[in-house]
Chains A and B, each alone.
Chain A
């Protein structure tokens, strides 16, 4: 059945109150005018670059010779699938992201449960604990780089106090990845703890009091009551951190530059080096789009888990 304007009342409203309809139109124009700057900004800064990068990924485009750019279809993607270094980058990206995420969630939960109490001292500790989140990743990366230095770095000095021989953190293929993961965990665990703490403090006091009356131990209370109640919050914070970890560039670039060899050469670094060291912008865009696809697949899985948990 066709629906006409009078049936849904628009025409009727106009006939009944022309001044009101004019007012509605005017309000819509104002709304459109107010939205326009934001829409233009979005179009210029997000939508256009996104579409352009997709177009670029289908091009043979050397930044040194843009005049020789040509359309090559999906060739850049095909070459990536046959490239060992690309697959190694995918593996390293997932390793970095999931190990860092797991550590941040576990440590963040423990820290949040510690901070989930009242008192002035706790307030001061909470404030101090959150500081790393506000630090620039570049400044943080440089600081960790110096702390990891084999000759004069703080880490080896501290290990030396316990008689542990120095480790060449950033030049060892075995230790470079744990070193950058540790730096990332140091920076972002406070963020996770803060969100989980907010979740814990939103748990109804009746539940907490009931647990106390039943004489539940603290670990049992956290494991059996707090954790299930926090699952939606945990899923959301894990999703935010996972997306961020998958596209981490600055911290790794500053600390190891992807080395030694390709031991910390994650996809964002691969995209950067291909684009801005080799000037192969088409291939760089293709790598970036693969990263976008991976992020979207994982985000979809997380959102599905979240929806299922709510059901």
Chain B
């Protein structure tokens, strides 16, 4: 909660409510498999991630996965890598700006990472969303997933026999100056749309849900014993012994980045994700994909009146 409370204020935003649940993308790796392969820990950079994927594939079985299904999934992975190289969607997100900055060095680096990673990806990764990635990790098909949404499944004996050997840490960062670990931030928030017909009632509900009681440690415990991931940093720390990925969440959230807070966000990820999928399938080269994705993003923003 501390992170979610402080972050909007630090970016000049206004705090309207607090999410009861937090999440971000994490790097998942099988501790036992990496040990057997003589790999010294998870990936710190994307170069490390490619090297781990290559080493694992040398066993004769590709074991690395990420969600590269066209649209939102591939778009999400690409933007995470792009941001880790210091890039982002736009020059600035303010009136008069919103110029796409995808066809850049960071954008090219992100696509080159995916192109380098693709030969070592387990085949199903090319059309994988969460429905495919979670079973693949749970049943031992994937043993290394550098960008995967956080969740309790992989450390739960009810879902996987490998619950004791799945490790988590921050997603890799770009190996450049200004590069950082920049996962997407998620979680369950309560917001009031500007066109809400009854803002006051909505606000009362938000206050109730985000009150001290709703974030009470006792409620937090029940939340955690389900599949919840509390937003309060102190609760993440407290329950780290029973939820192995909470430590990684706590470490990752300070540099996590939210989805662009504009109505066109989904359309942008969908459009970019189509181009990324075309690149990893070899239907398009990186240069053409970057040119096309930037043009499409500009078109979406123009249609929505951002450049009027």
- Chain A residues with a Cβ under 8 A of chain B: 60, 62, 64-68, 72, 75, 79, 85, 149-152, 168, 170-173, 176, 256-263, 265, 273-274, 277-280
**In the complex where A62-B264, A151-B141, A261-B126 touch, is A85 in contact with B69 (Cβ < 8 A)?**
no
B41 to chain A, nearest CB (A): 28
Binds A, one of B83-91, B167-175, B274-282: B274-282
* B266 lies within 8 A of A278 (CB): yes
- In the bound assembly, the distance between CA atoms of A116 and B70 in angstroms comes to 46
The 8 A-B residue pairs with the shortest CB-CB distance in the complex, in nearest-first order: A64-B263, A278-B267, A260-B127, A259-B127, A168-B123, A261-B277, A261-B281, A65-B263
A132 to chain B, nearest CB (A): 24
Identify which of B70, B266, B267 contacts A262 (C-beta below 8 A): B70
* A259 lies within 8 A of B69 (CB): yes
- With a cutoff of 8 Å between Cβ atoms, the chain B residues found around residue A257 in the complex are 69-70, 127, 129
8 contacts between A and B (CB under 8 A): A65-B263, A68-B305, A151-B139, A168-B123, A171-B128, A273-B71, A274-B270, A279-B266
* B70 lies within 8 A of A261 (CB): yes
- In the bound assembly, the distance between CA atoms of A65 and B300 in angstroms comes to 14
* A60 lies within 8 A of B277 (CB): no
Give the contacts of B250-285 with A (CB-CB under 8 A).
263-267, 270-271, 274, 277-278, 280-281, 283
* B267 lies within 8 A of A170 (CB): no
- Chain B residues with a Cβ under 8 A of chain A: 69-72, 123-129, 139, 141, 194-195, 263-267, 270-271, 274, 277-278, 280-281, 283, 299-300, 303-305
A-B interface pairs (CB < 8 A), number: 92
* A66 lies within 8 A of B126 (CB): no
- With a cutoff of 8 Å between Cβ atoms, the chain B residues found around residue A280 in the complex are 267, 300
- With a cutoff of 8 Å between Cβ atoms, the chain B residues found around residue A150 in the complex are 123-124
Closest residue to A172 on the B side, CB-wise? B123
Identify which of A64, A149, A263, A277 contacts B72 (C-beta below 8 A): A277
Identify which of A64, A72, A265, A274 contacts B70 (C-beta below 8 A): A265
A291 to chain B, nearest CB (A): 19
Identify which of A60, A260, A261, A273 contacts B304 (C-beta below 8 A): A60
- With a cutoff of 8 Å between Cβ atoms, the chain A residues found around residue B70 in the complex are 257-262, 265
**In the complex where A171-B124, A273-B71, A279-B263 touch, is A62 in contact with B278 (Cβ < 8 A)?**
no
Identify which of A60, A64, A170 contacts B303 (C-beta below 8 A): A60
- With a cutoff of 8 Å between Cβ atoms, the chain B residues found around residue A67 in the complex are 194-195
Closest residue to A277 on the B side, CB-wise? B270
**In the complex where A68-B305, A257-B69, A262-B70 touch, is A171 in contact with B278 (Cβ < 8 A)?**
no
* A171 lies within 8 A of B71 (CB): no
- In the bound assembly, the distance between CA atoms of A103 and B122 in angstroms comes to 32
* B277 lies within 8 A of A62 (CB): no
* A170 lies within 8 A of B127 (CB): yes
* B127 lies within 8 A of A262 (CB): no
Residue among A72, A152, A168, A260 with most chain B CB within 10 A: A260
